[in-house]
Structure 1
């Protein structure tokens, strides 16, 4: 008997260490993990420099602070949901 494959989706949150954005990245990672714990194989915090704050899902960039500012959890959750669990309701995050 073969076990069913687990989730394979990976979210990466790259943040600027010089800007001290680790707490913001960790908070966003916690929000993502709380919402998608059964849908994700990994949420990675990736140290960077140069003012970077970027979110990718399965290698596809979904948010870049340079173009879009700092993300709130709701828009990030919708972007992730659209890629890993389309059609799933996010409850109050849908508004």
Structure 2
């Protein structure tokens, strides 16, 4: 199974830079584990991060944007549960 994370972002809200930043953080942290991070343009205020159609984070459900640290932990739990995230694992 291909290790692919999708970030769907609202083009109307101009959230491309935020989505690209999260993608860069994931690709840097999981360079050996992830095969792909896809940026998917959407509308209607969407900002979702998915792994194999499973929603890891939804701005609508949470009522806020995710922190990079939080996204890294969510992705790590799916693709590399034993990976140490260093400072991202500390409170």
- Fold-level similarity (TM above 0.5): yes
Greater C-alpha Rg = 1
Kindly report the root-mean-square deviation, in angstroms, between the aligned alpha carbons of the 2 structures: 1.0
Q: Which 4+ residue blocks in structure 1 deviate beyond 4 angstroms? A: none
Report the Cα distance in structure 1 between the residues aligned to 2:54 and 2:30, rounded to whole angstroms: 17
Matched, 1:77 2:78: no
Extract unaligned runs of 5+ from structure 2. Answer: none
How many residues align? The count is: 89
Quote the offset at 1:8 in angstroms: 2.0
**Structure 1 unmatched ranges of 5 or more:** 1-6
TM-score by length of 1: 0.90
Question: Which residue, 77, 81, 84 being the options, matches 1:89?
Answer: 84
| Mapped pair 1:18 → 2:41 | no
TM-score by length of 2: 0.94
